[in-house]
């Protein structure tokens, strides 16, 4: 899981480099997400060819809905990463389990108690702080990250429906194949020839994302989610470190306070889930 956080933070770093003029003329978020799905698909297909696993009949309706949400979430997060500091975009993305909890009420029929609502309220308070009323640029980027967290939260609900029913490699293959097709259609209107450096970053983005997915799902298969999830918050540390080393961006007091509040709310939610599941 620690390795997954290193990879995930690296993808936001590459997305920021591609979405700004760091490696050449800024690429549209749709083109960045296209590179993510295209080259991740190449990596997964290569693994399937080598390993030749046996697949079961997939639930395509859930896969299609999950991929739509995942593509939207990734595109919005990449757009946010180019507009605001990586630490802010990453912190707001941690709202995804909170949105997943809220969406589980109408979609899965789950009941939410006072502790869960308290955790959600705390995390959302931190997000409101990071939106920074009065700063137009920060507000736009923060709302993009907020939208990414919402779509990712919905994706979590759909992943729950797939968990235990289909094998990891099958889920990754279908997700990245559908994502590659969808992002290829979306990128047509905004495509521009990447520079050599941007091609390298796009290839790296897809491969690193595939590695992150494999590490993440492997971690969940080897330990309880309640134990693994808190380690995902280290993504924020690596994102801030990358931002400091590459773009010389130092998180200010508001960024640190907002991130701490969001992590506090999410950690409370994880703690409550652990206590609730204990016999």
| 189 against 257, higher pLDDT | 189
Higher pLDDT, 107 or 29: 29
What is the tens place of the pLDDT at every residue in 59-71? 999 999 999 999 9
Residue 133 CB coordination number (10 Å): 8
- Cβ atoms within 10 Å, residue 204: 15
Decide if 192 contacts 31 (C-beta within 8 A).
yes
Residue 264 has pLDDT above 70, yes or no: yes
Average pLDDT of the chain, as a whole number? 85
8 A C-beta contact, residue 40 and residue 207 = yes
* Contact predicate 14/204, CB 8 Å: yes
Q: Which residues contact 118 (CB under 8 A, 6 or more apart)?
A: 268
CA 103 from centroid of its chain's CA atoms: 17
Handedness of CA 227, 122, 233, 154 (dihedral sign): positive
The pTM (predicted TM-score) of the whole model is 0.82
Whether 251 contacts 87, CB under 8 Å:
yes
What are the boundaries of each domain within the chain? Answer: 2-277
Q: What angle do CA 5, 6, 12 make, to 5 degrees?
A: 90
In whole angstroms, how far apart are CA 28 and each of 16, 160, 184, 222? 11, 31, 13, 37
Confidence of residue 41 (pLDDT cuts 50, 70, 90): very high
Rounded CA Rg of the chain: 18
The arithmetic mean of pLDDT across residues 66-79, rounded, is 93
Give CA–CA dist 88/130, Å, rounded.
7
Shortest CA distance to 124 belongs to which of 157, 144, 103, 149?
149
Reported as a pLDDT band with limits 50, 70 and 90, residue 277 is low
Angle between helix 168-187 and helix 60-83 axes, rounded to 10 deg = 60
The per-residue pLDDT for 99 is 84
With beta carbons less than 8 A apart as the criterion, state whether 116 and 103 touch: no
* pLDDT score of 139 more than 70: yes
């Amino acid at each position: 899981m620690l390795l997954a956080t290193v990879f995930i933070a690296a993808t936001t770093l590459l997305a920021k480099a591609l979405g700004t003029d760091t490696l050449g003329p800024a690429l549209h978020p749709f083109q960045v997400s296209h590179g993510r799905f295209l080259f991740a698909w190449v990596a997964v297909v290569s693994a399937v060819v080598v390993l030749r696993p046996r697949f079961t009949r997939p639930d395509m309706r859930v896969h299609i809905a999950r991929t739509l949400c995942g593509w939207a979430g990734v595109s919005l997060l990449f757009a946010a990463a180019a507009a605001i500091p990586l630490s802010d975009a990453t912190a707001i993305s941690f709202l995804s389990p909170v949105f997943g909890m809220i969406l589980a009420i109408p979609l899965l029929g789950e009941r939410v108690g006072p502790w869960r609502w308290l955790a959600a309220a705390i995390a959302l308070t931190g997000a409101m702080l990071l939106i920074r009323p009065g700063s137009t640029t920060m507000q736009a980027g923060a709302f993009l990250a907020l939208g990414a967290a919402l779509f990712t939260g919905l994706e979590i609900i759909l992943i729950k429906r797939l968990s235990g029913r289909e094998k990891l490699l099958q889920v990754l293959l279908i997700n990245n194949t559908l994502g590659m097709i969808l992002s290829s259609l979306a990128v047509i209107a905004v495509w521009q020839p990447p520079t050599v450096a941007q091609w390298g970053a796009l290839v790296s983005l897809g491969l690193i994302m595939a590695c992150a997915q494999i590490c993440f799902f492997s971690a969940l298969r080897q330990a309880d989610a309640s134990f693994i999830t808190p380690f995902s918050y280290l993504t924020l540390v690596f994102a801030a470190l990358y931002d400091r080393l590459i773009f010389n961006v130092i998180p200010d007091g508001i960024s640190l306070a907002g991130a701490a509040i969001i992590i506090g709310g999410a950690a409370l939610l994880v703690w409550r889930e652990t206590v609730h599941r204990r016999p």
